[in-house]
Structure 1
Amino acid sequence: MIKNYLRITWRNMMKNKLFIFINVLGLSVGIASCIVAYFNWEFDAKFDTHHAHYNNIYRVSSIREFDGRTTLYGFAPTPMGPVIRANVPDADKVVRFSPVSSNVKREDDLFRIDIGHTDEGFFDIFTFEFINGQPAALKEKSKILLSDEMAIKLFGTTDVVGKQLTQMIGTNTREIEIGAVFKKQPSNSSFMNDAFMHYDNYFDLLPNVKEDDWKSRNTVFVLVNDPSRVNAIVKQIQVYKENNNKVREDFQIREFVLDPFAGMAQRDSANDTWSQTREGNPTAAVIAPGIMAIMVLLIACFNMTNTAIAISSRRLKEIGLRKVMGSMRSQLIIQFIGEMVFICFIALVIGLVLGEVLLASWNALWTEMKLTSHYIDDPGFLIFIISMLVFTALLAGSYPAFYISGFEPVSILKGKLKFGGTNYFTRTLLALQYTISLIGIISAFAFYQNSIYQRDFDIGVDQNGIITAYVSNQGEFETYRNALSQNKDIISIAGSKHSIWSSWYNDPVKHESKQLEVDIIEVGDDYLKTMGMELTEGRDFRKDSETDRKESIIISQKFAEELGWTQSVGKEVIWMDTVKFYVIGVVKNVYTNGLWREMQPLMIRYTTPDQYTHVIVNAPALKITDVNKFMESEWKKIFPNQLYNGWYLNSGMAEAVQVNTNIVKMFVFLGLVALVLSATGLFTLVSLNIIKRMKEIGVRKVLGASIGNITRIINTEFAIILLVSSILGSVASYYMVDLLMDSIWDYYQSTTSVTFAFSVFLMFLISGIAIGYKVFTAASMNPVNTLRNE
């Protein structure tokens, strides 16, 4: 019997090769999209789960209340690690963690390495695979533990234990020995560092930070083998918040908490937690691909349902004869469902191959996230694939199977049964197909428009003409500045301690009874001019003015708005309860967080050259690349033992541009696939409708109906379907796009009416092209042939 079922299935597929091919291809694309979405979800769901003690690790985090708002910070004062280790016996292991980039030299080549500074128990808490050497090498301050990727980059091999590197510490150097090589963590790990060193090296790189300094911050992890002791540990560490609050009036901690390592990366991403470890993917980046994949799969299934109905209309005599010969309805249902399972299985096999192609394309979009396929060794994936096969077959094949198998054989064999055309079910499926298609099209255009909007967004500075480089002290700044002054293309050069999108700190300030938390930067002469910041009120700092250094500030418009000022110059602001500042100027709003987070009020202080750590260069946007090359060449002459660290200010917006571009590509893919499948479904239904109404068309032509009149009659119901889809798709897109953009950025452009209008027009145009020839041919047909055949 099974052999007979397979033979019938294959014959029917061969009779309808074109329709089957189109639908198998559509299902394959839908299945491949779901495979990518599954691995994308798995990447986030399994973040850090490879660590053996995953469920017993906690991060010491700080909770701060300010102005009625509670915020969790993923760090603690620097002394917390040693204090907990010495005084809290319930904590089985305690390690500190602070990542800092450093330059190392191998022979004459310089490299920048991201070094995680930590304590010797780090590899007892977190799981790393060592290729050469032992984790015990972390105990020695003079040794460095490299990732396999960095070892190969430096030496071309992982067999490097015992070899030497020269580390640059400011203007000084020291020799360090490679103590071990570990396999670099997967990209869904909180620790993507190139190397690790003993924590004491951190104080050498940052001499201003002391081990007993409660003002500074780092990350502290605690291993607690007995989870029932967590609450006791939390109570014991509360006493140390007073150590912080005595020296940080600007950062009063309400309490310390033990934040579970399990799910930490996802929570940090969702809550914009300040942390020193890698965050998980944004929620939108996890959910959106899944929704898109389901949409593509649903369209393919709906298309397959309509095609199955169309194909079944040609098999009425077969069904009638089989029923007369004794076939039960259940057998016919099994036959039709079995055929659909077979077709879906073929689509699944092709989908697995396409999935690899889509995975490669996905990894090319997101450089920091590498998805890897693993089919056989993952029971979860096998369950997912089997479930998707069953779901797809039942969704696409159930209606035709149960509907057609219920026909009476007498009606079929007497020719009384007229099956074909459209009904409410097929019309609904087509409307849903086009609704999903329109969502994809509108979303693609909306994100494209948003990319242009954000690219041209006024962030308050000349982002396209600025290059920033870092120096260690005043001497380095002046030497480098003098060398750069030779270039006539450079408009201006400034120095600063902090800078926009580079470094700043956040503190509360007061004015009368009002309190406000603001971003603070300290800058030198000509900073506003060089950065292209526009004064809207007052003046700039006066060069070498001691008064300006001690008591003058420049604020942003947001600062003034938050305090309700219409005239700001001369207003008094109190910082750290005792320091008085007076406003001398107001600049246009500056978006220190880019477009990702809400703009914060900005306070600018004047600093002296001995505090400079930044070199800011302004040049014409068209010549900025040449200026950067010049800066790099001069840097190599002046600082041969340091890698050039200059960067374009507009690179701070590059991530927003990349996200927009990638989402546009994803929605273009969704829109094109959905539109092609929907157009195919429309073509199928139009063809069925014409076949059903051939006699009516012939009679109308005999009675004098024009081609245009007949075309209108055939297309009216489909035009109504497209109109309904336009409304549903536009409404759904409006809310979905706004929700998605709002989850990514605080500043974006909502979908415009032009986007809706153009997308709907495009949908109608492609649909018209898809069915135009078929409708015109039917309307132009000689009625004699039609009526004679009837």
Structure 2
Amino acid sequence: MIKNYLKIAFRNLRNQKGYAFINISGLAVGLACCILIMIYVTHELSYDKHHEYSDRIYRVVSKIDFSGNYLELATAPAPMGPTLKQDFPEVEAVTRFRPIGSRIVKRGDMNIKEDGLVLADPSVFRVFTIPMQYGDPETALEKPNTVVITDKIAQKYFGKLDAVGERIIILDEFEFEVTGVIEEMPSTSHFHFNFMLSMSTTEEAENNSWFSNNFRTYVLLKPGVDAERFEENFETIKKQYVEPQLKSFMGISLDEFEAAGNSAEYALQPLTSIHLYSDLTGEFEPNGSITYVYIFSGLAVFVLLLACINFMNLATARSSVRAREVGIRKTLGSARSQLTVQFLSETVLLSILAMFVALFLVELSLPYFSNLSGTDIRSGYLNEPTIMAGLFAVVLITGLFAGSYPAVMLSSLKPSRVLKGVFSEQWRHIFMRKGLVVFQFSISIVIIVGLLVINKQLNFIQSKELGFSKDQIIIVEDAYTLGSSYAVDALKEEMLKDPIFKSATISSFFPVQGYSKNDLVHWPKGEEPTQNNTVSMQTWTVDEDYIPTLGMELVAGRNFDEERGTEEQTVILNESAVKRFKFEDPVGESIVSYGFDHNGNIDNSQVREYRIIGVVKDFHYESLRRNIEPLGLFYGKSSGNVAFAIGASNSREAIEKLEAWWNEKAPDRPFNYSFMDQQFEQMYRSEQRVQNLMTAFSLIALFIACLGLFGLSAHSVNRRTKEIGIRKVMGATVPNVLALISGEFLKLVVISFLISIPISYFAATRWLNDFTYRTNIGVDIFLLTGLGAILIALLTVSGQSVKAALMNPADSLRSE
């Protein structure tokens, strides 16, 4: 019986090639989108699950509320890790990371700037499952000046994988011994690195300050330990270790500190939740978002629904053609159940054929999709049982769902009526079909509104007044590798002789991603530090050309002046810092802070005083998701990076001059540069990726919706052929007929638009709430979307409308 059903189904598809093509292509596009999103979601949900003990690994995070500054940090104090391992038997192992950014790496004639360098405790291999190809994971990082590298780095510098025992120069001429070679971290890891340097190499390993939150600390709990109950131990840690340093620093107890509205809280964050649920200050890398996983999962369902609805509409649009077939089959003895199975077998067969086409489309589009989504997704998805099981389930459900309504409707026809040529649809069938089109366009409009809101927010970010100029700024990086501050000054002075360079500044601090940030506590001179007068603020070392080069605005006081010779003890605050210090007239006031000893611990004997000489207008030095926090610009000479302001059309020429000078003065050092506006854009990579994906899926959803509208218009013209003929005989003109057909569908689009407005407004508002500074949604977005939907609908049905309007009444009446 099944074989017979399949033979009939194949014959019907062969005899109706146009119908089969439209249905298979529509379902294939829908399934391809669904498969791509399934791959993406599976990839996002699999982060950090490759570690053997991933269910027992937690990151220690900090939540600090101090003097009005609230910070949620992915870091913890330096002594947190050793304290947890020493004091609590529930802890099996602890390890810490201290990222150190980019450094020049040397070996022989090779002199390359490398990214992904971290300091790590020896216990890193006890906590994390990091396959080591060569070396002993138990001892690899025990000694100072040892390093573990990835297999890619080993091949790059040594031409072989077994590089254990080889030596390489890192960290300003320090020689390191390679003690291990590991595999590269998989793409589904929330951290990646190329070099792991032993923590004992630097003095930071001995840092015992509980106010220095610089370490990414990970805890492996013993089996059966409840993480929530274990978190109660942090209160003990605060009392035993934090309070003594608090009393030494501010002269108050922990209770007094918290009574003033301040707090320092620590918590355990599950390793497998970091990628999708964490956006803290100090993350290893930009994380994903569970919100976007939900959004794209919803898109997959909606796009597939659109494809199914298309199939249902196209099938019912052909019901009058299949009605006579049903009547004959029933007359010959076919039961209703047999007819239902027959029609369902056709739709399941269509779905299976569409699946193979969809897999072909996925293979073609996978590299493009990986680039759009910013994920490293390869074609090995067919080996994933979850994806394949989900795919076959989706195909089967799609076939049954898409074919259920046409099968039930057609199998219920009475043979006595359809064989006489009497076939009219019941109002509920017509209502359901129109309702499906409304549903299609409602979804499409919501998606398009979401896309327009994302575009508007990104444009708002790009055009918002930031308080500094990011355009036409070239940053020559790692200028310190020139060997001395004199050489760096020479670079700056030599370039400024050329008129294409307008100005230049030397600093390690710039208001874009990828440059140094630091926090220190200050308070007004003449007062003892208390919870009421201390301000935690960014402290950036800059020169006298920093403010003019970056186009910042002084709202009070003056800029630094090297000729005065006393600027090292001066500071320029931003407006937020002035408000936090509660200075009415800040120029001339002084602030102080404690210094640090060689281990990075607070040293009360060192008190540094700075006189305020100016106030700079607030500028955004972090993402627009965050508020502008207090910041101080401190005068000092630096050799980190040199930023040049250039003319709008001089980029290529400026780069050539800089590179030529560099290669002449430091031929053995790599020349690295970047544009500040490009660095700024890196802060919004996730939004840009979502924008790209939304654009692609919006176009696909709109295409599928238009296919559905085309199917319904074809069905409507077919059903109203006789009516149109009579109207034309009675004097109706071509415009009358066009208005009749098109008006029917315009009403559906208008209804869809009205339904979609509150839904899209709510969703867009929720997304924008993640930004501290955000655009208004505005009526223009909805008007633009509504007019666009109406225009697209008119274009979609125009072919059928014109065909019906130009039809000869004699032919249409004879056909009936």
Structure 2 length as normaliser, TM-score? 0.86
Q: Which deviates more from structure 2 when the two are superposed, residues 379-388 or residues 441-450?
A: 441-450
* Correspondence for 1:728: 755
Is residue 551–residue 582 contact of structure 1 (8 Å, CA) maintained in 2? yes
Residue of 118, 130, 133 corresponding to 1:131 = 133
* Correspondence for 1:653: 680
Distance in 1, Cα, partners of 2:355 & 2:579: 58
Deviation at 1:95, TM superposition (A): 2.3
Q: How does 1:413-432 map to 2 (within 5 A)?
A: 413-419=419-425, 423-432=430-439
* Correspondence for 1:152: 155
* Correspondence for 2:31: 31
Deviation at 1:116, TM superposition (A): 2.6
The SS at the match of 1:622 is coil
Which whole-Å deviations, capped at 9, do the CAs of 1:677-706 have from their partners, x for residues lacking one?
Answer: 222222222222222222222222122111
Distance in 2, Cα, partners of 1:515 & 1:107: 50
Q: Which deviates more from structure 2 when the two are superposed, residues 181-190 or residues 328-337?
A: 328-337
Distance in 2, Cα, partners of 1:215 & 1:788: 90
The SS at the match of 1:529 is helix
- Matched to 2:745, the amino acid is F
Residue of 509, 518, 521 corresponding to 1:505 = 518
The reply on whether 1:491 has 2:502 as its aligned counterpart is yes
Distance in 1, Cα, partners of 2:339 & 2:67: 70
The SS at the match of 1:423 is helix
Distance in 2, Cα, partners of 1:192 & 1:286: 22
Distance in 1, Cα, partners of 2:37 & 2:304: 12
Which whole-Å deviations, capped at 9, do the CAs of 1:323-348 have from their partners, x for residues lacking one?
Answer: 23333222222222222111111111
* Correspondence for 1:436: 443
- Matched to 1:522, the amino acid is T
* Correspondence for 1:770: 796
* Correspondence for 2:254: none
The reply on whether 1:109 has 2:110 as its aligned counterpart is yes
Which whole-Å deviations, capped at 9, do the CAs of 1:752-789 have from their partners, x for residues lacking one?
Answer: 44443343333333332332232222212222222334
Is residue 570–residue 613 contact of structure 2 (8 Å, CA) maintained in 1? no
* Correspondence for 1:718: 745
Q: How does 1:151-230 map to 2 (within 5 A)?
A: 151-165=154-168, 167-170=169-172, 172-174=173-175, 176-203=176-203, 210-216=206-212, 217-228=214-225
Distance in 2, Cα, partners of 1:70 & 1:754: 36
Distance in 1, Cα, partners of 2:241 & 2:482: 37
CA spacing shift, 1:570–1:10, aligned 2, 3 Å: same
Deviation at 1:156, TM superposition (A): 4.7
- Matched to 1:437, the amino acid is S
Structure 1 length as normaliser, TM-score? 0.89
- Matched to 2:486, the amino acid is E
Q: How does 1:433-582 map to 2 (within 5 A)?
A: 433-468=440-475, 469-472=477-480, 476-487=484-495, 488=498, 489-496=500-507, 498-501=509-512, 502-507=515-520, 518-543=537-562, 545=564, 549-550=568-569, 552-556=571-575, 558-559=576-577, 568-570=585-587
Deviation at 1:427, TM superposition (A): 0.7
RMSD over aligned CA atoms reads: 3.3
Q: How does 1:283-294 map to 2 (within 5 A)?
A: 283-294=290-301
Is residue 305–residue 396 contact of structure 1 (8 Å, CA) maintained in 2? yes
* Correspondence for 2:400: 394
The SS at the match of 1:77 is coil
Is residue 499–residue 523 contact of structure 1 (8 Å, CA) maintained in 2? no
For this pair of structures, how many residues does the alignment match? 774
Distance in 1, Cα, partners of 2:696 & 2:50: 33
- Matched to 1:480, the amino acid is V
Distance in 1, Cα, partners of 2:16 & 2:522: 75
Which whole-Å deviations, capped at 9, do the CAs of 1:109-162 have from their partners, x for residues lacking one?
Answer: 222142232222211221122333442433344443221222333345434344
Which whole-Å deviations, capped at 9, do the CAs of 1:422-472 have from their partners, x for residues lacking one?
Answer: 711111111122222333434444434444333233211110132333455
Is residue 32–residue 355 contact of structure 1 (8 Å, CA) maintained in 2? yes
Distance in 2, Cα, partners of 1:663 & 1:727: 26
The reply on whether 1:261 has 2:271 as its aligned counterpart is yes
Is residue 571–residue 635 contact of structure 2 (8 Å, CA) maintained in 1? no
- Matched to 2:278, the amino acid is D
Residue of 334, 346, 365 corresponding to 2:372 = 365
CA spacing shift, 1:253–1:712, aligned 2, 3 Å: closer
Residue of 781, 784, 788 corresponding to 2:810 = 784
* Structure 2 unaligned blocks of 5 or more: 252-256, 595-606
The reply on whether 1:585 has 2:614 as its aligned counterpart is yes
- Matched to 1:479, the amino acid is A
The reply on whether 1:679 has 2:685 as its aligned counterpart is no
* Correspondence for 2:644: 617
Is residue 76–residue 217 contact of structure 2 (8 Å, CA) maintained in 1? yes
Residue of 724, 737, 762 corresponding to 1:697 = 724
Distance in 2, Cα, partners of 1:11 & 1:495: 77
* Structure 1 unaligned blocks of 5 or more: none
Deviation at 1:359, TM superposition (A): 2.5
Which whole-Å deviations, capped at 9, do the CAs of 1:529-572 have from their partners, x for residues lacking one?
Answer: 1211012333223435577644653323x45567888x655485
Distance in 2, Cα, partners of 1:219 & 1:657: 23
Deviation at 1:290, TM superposition (A): 1.9
